[in-house]
Amino acid sequence: MIRFFALFDALDRTTKTNAKVAALADYFREAPEADRLWTIALLSGRRPKRAVNSTELRNWAAEAAGIPLWLFEEAYPVVGDLSETISLVLPPATRRDDRPLADWITDLIALTGQPADTRRAAILDAWDRLTTGERFLFNKLITGGFRMGVSQGLMVRALSQATGMEETELAHRLMGDWEPRTTSWDSLIRSNDPAAAGARPYPFALASPLDDPETLGAPEDWLAEWKWDGIRGQIIRRAEAFALWSRGEELITDRFPEFAPLADFLPEGTVIDGEVLAWGDDRPLPFSQLQKRIGRLTVSKKMLTDTPAHLLAYDLLEEGGEDLRALPLSDRRARLTALIAALPAGMPLGLSPEINVDSWYEMARLRATAREKNAEGLMLKRLSSPYHVGRKRGDWWKWKLDPFTVDCVMLYAQSGSGRRANLFTDFTFAVRDGDQLVPFTKAYSGLTDAEFNEITRWVRRHTLEKFGPVRRVPPELVFEVAFEGIQASSRHKSGIALRFPRMSRWRHDKPVEEIDTLDTLKELLALHG
């Protein structure tokens, strides 16, 4: 843990990319192999299962610090982070322990499912053997809220410097369903055994937002297709392996059993990048239909009948076991077209249609119709481009439709977390329904720090009631809230749920009497829900 804290401290002290990469590279050269594996896992979102909940941590920390729980709770919003609050209120450690990171994590994993007294004793013992900074990291390992200010791309670059291997190869090796307790450094990083890849996906290529396509040159140099609103995924058919991976590196094969027949008909050594969509009447259904299946570990027969899934293919990444990513998109697309054409009729896999127009003006007219196709806009990909790792600006663009917007009034405010713990940043908004105000959504992003500071001062002066961390305020501040989609919801009083809501403007110019109504949202739901 001492070495791991030194790494965290070095990363936390600089905003310079090269310095962060150098610190990580040194760590990957010098740390024990098990610690390297766990560090890679933590930085790529593979965290140990949580063994202790936040309420237990609060109670045990207050007890160890000799302070009443209410005083701990008052300190928490001032500090803004639970792990840091605990590390600051605890008394100094009476012992030191220089065990490596992997041992500490192994101990935490072993606590899962143990009685509360056993877990309490182990956590108190650990706190008494760690410095304030080490306790902070240890608490982060417990809560799962681990952040080191390092993207996976920077981590891969540091690994490349430490090992001398290509970044693209390392990024591919780190994908998939590996776990530090059952993986060695050599098998993950050094092994050249093709069989070790198994059902491992490739890193996804990502697009950048586009405002003006006129800057891209001639339309004929680009592949245009709809930006479908589903789950980005890779279908993999290799020897002894068939898998569907989401962009978030989640194995979702069992959640979409209708894709199972593809294992019999896709040629061995095939990897396809595409979009999983709810499907009906030979066209995509709204995302809200697919959302009914997201998060379900088992899918009922009724759901398979009512909301079948379909994959619209974008790209062919592997054919006959050959990695095609370095080829131009035009070549990959031609091979993908031929592969799909050779499949039997009725397969849950099709080609994402190409859009052919002669001008950007015509492209813009088509883009305006995207919602009619249950799409979010257009994707524009340079025909000569390879399949990049991650987001490489210039070759792939997403030209999304402008979001929906609604004017509404703030009813409740709550403090943020982290660096915004002393600001009110999380708000509940309402629209008019006759003479009533009906809450319909929450939002916490989209404004500047200066605006959040001004709103915080206003909330403190105008609080009507407190409900724990929530403040009720008079309905006076009007905001424009932007969102990507709308759907019916029985869980909300308004009967409506928004997709990706965020504040787009503070409407100083608009009185409360002129905010939108619930009927306005219901009309929008009828058209686009």
Residue-wise DSSP of 292-349 = TTTT-SS--HHHHHHS-EEEEEEEEEEETTEE-TTS-HHHHHHHHHHHHHTSPTT-SE
For the residues of 4-38, what is the DSSP string, one character each? HHHHHHHHHT---HHHHHHHHHHHHHHS-HHHHHH
* Angle of CA points 276, 327, 378, to nearest 5°: 40
CATH of domain 2-143: 1.10.3260.10
The architecture CATH gives domain 205-400: 2-Layer Sandwich (3.30)
Which top CATH class is 404-528? mainly beta
pTM to 2 decimals?
0.69
3-state SS, one letter per residue, for 99-113: CCHHHHHHHHHHCCC
The rounded distance, in Å, linking the Cα atoms of 528 and 515 is 21
Q: Is the Cα torsion angle 217, 219, 225, 227 positive or negative in sign?
A: positive
The rounded distance, in Å, linking the Cα atoms of 119 and 378 is 52
| Widest Cα–Cα separation across the chain | 75
Number of alpha carbons in the 13 Å side-chain half-sphere of residue 479: 29
Domain borders along the chain are 2-143, 205-400, 404-528
CA-based nearest residue to 340, from 357, 319, 355 = 319
- Residue partners of 80: CB distance under 8 A and separation at least 6: 416, 417, 418, 419, 420, 421, 422
The rounded distance, in Å, linking the Cα atoms of 395 and 329 is 10
The rounded distance, in Å, linking the Cα atoms of 400 and 314 is 17
Other Cβ atoms closer than 10 A to 93: 16
Check if the beta carbon of residue 201 is closer than 8 Å to that of residue 273: no
CA-based nearest residue to 233, from 355, 348, 122 = 348
The pair phi, psi for residue 282, each rounded to 5°, is: 60, 35
Question: What does each of the 529 residues of the chain score in pLDDT, given as a tens digit?
Answer: 888 889 988 888 888 889 999 999 999 999 999 999 999 988 887 778 888 898 999 999 999 999 999 898 888 877 777 888 999 999 999 998 888 999 999 999 999 989 999 999 999 999 999 999 899 989 988 887 667 777 778 888 899 999 988 887 888 788 777 888 888 888 888 776 544 556 788 999 999 999 889 999 999 999 999 999 999 999 999 987 898 998 887 888 888 989 999 999 999 999 999 999 999 888 998 888 888 887 666 778 888 888 899 999 999 999 999 999 999 999 999 999 999 999 999 999 999 999 988 899 999 999 999 988 889 999 999 999 999 988 888 999 999 988 899 999 999 999 886 666 678 999 999 999 988 999 999 999 999 889 999 999 999 999 999 887 789 999 999 999 999 888 888 778 888 889 889 999 999 989 999 999 999 999 888 877 6
